[in-house]
Amino acid sequence: MSVEDQQSSEDLEQEFDAETEPSVDEDTDAESAPATVPGPPTSVMSGERVAIKALEAKLLGGERRLRRREVAAGAGVSILSARKVWRALGFPNFGDEDVAFTERDQAALTRILDLVRAGLLTEEAAISVTRSIGQMTDRMVVWQVEALVEDMVSEQGIPDAVARKQLVAQLPALVDSLEEILVYSYRRQLNAGIQRLAVRAEAGLQASEEGREGDEDDSPLPLARAVGFADLVSYTSLSRRMNEKTLAQLVQRFENKCAEIISVGGGRLVKTVGDEVLYIAETPAAGAEISLALAQAFTEDEILPQCRVSMVWGRILSRLGDIYGPTVNLAARLTTLAQPGTVLVDAMTAAALGQDDRFVLVPQKSENVRGFGEIHPVMLARGRGKGLVLD
């Protein structure tokens, strides 16, 4: 290693380590208690255990042969720096004697650190991006496993526990295809995000001033978006009368239908929380179309109950894949005021939609809402046109 390379490595390590954490080896604190790592078998392995080991080797790129200090040294950073990345990815704590890593782990760690070394990302940005990958893939894996198990139980008539064991044998044939689809979807979603960021930025900025006077509570926030909530009616009472399987099917049907409508409308489903979905769109009209389509779809659904829908046009802060700000809070409050099968908007959103003949706006009685005082809800209804057309 040249003097320049050594100095660069030392500077990077100092940058990663410049926190309030103690400089002593952290193995002595409670947090760094050794994680439970499968050790070598003491007897002949069962067929099930052999299958698990083979699947692990495929997923991790080989057998676990490296300890954490070896991986960190191979990447050219301290244990503390490596642990920041591993924490962001959601890994458990490993002790110095745990043989928990493979060469692929070292390559991944090096790749992340190289982005900082090259000046493409700051340490803070690298950790935040890494955390997004860790959290999203963790949720994705849980979702996929549960979907596959549920399908096996339904199609084969086997118990849940048996399905989970059999899934281990089936996964090797699925992994490569699922991985390819993941990368494909990531690139498509990234491209869509770039289009929203750049291509439609000017239209979004123009629309962001519609219906606004400049003194709103959300004025300092950067992004103008239509924020909507859809909430299933009587979900609590329904859940008490349903068994676990039926309730899961109801929730899945609700989420699938919401995701389809929001996607067709050009919006983004931010998150689902039980019986409620949160979504955004880039213009008031797009948000209105999605909201009306959601209310209509659940009114016409033969299985699901109706839903209450609200939509507010305003500014938001987007962080960690979620959204924040007074606009989000007001939309949530309006949802509780909406009647089943209807859409409520606030006065500012109604003003932004007032000249669009695709929508009919019906003022409702004023309401006192916690945190907002007196507001003037407006019911949104269909005007001219067919609205969103679903295949």
pLDDT, tens digit, 9 for 90 and up, residues 316-337: 888 777 889 999 999 999 999 9
How many helices (H) and strands (E) the chain has is answered by 14, 10
* Residue 263 scores a pLDDT above 80: yes
The whole-number average pLDDT for the span 348-373 is 90
Which residue type occupies 17? D
Which pLDDT does position 369 carry in this prediction? 84
pLDDT, tens digit, 9 for 90 and up, residues 138-197: 889 988 998 899 899 989 999 988 999 899 999 999 999 999 999 999 999 888 878 766
Which pLDDT does position 208 carry in this prediction? 55
For residues 287 and 227, the answer to whether their CB atoms sit within 8 Å is yes
Residues in Cβ contact with 371 at an 8 Å cutoff, skipping those fewer than 6 apart: 329, 333
pLDDT band at 217 (very low <50, low <70, confident <90, very high): low
Nearest 5°: CA angle at 284, between 281 and 287? 45
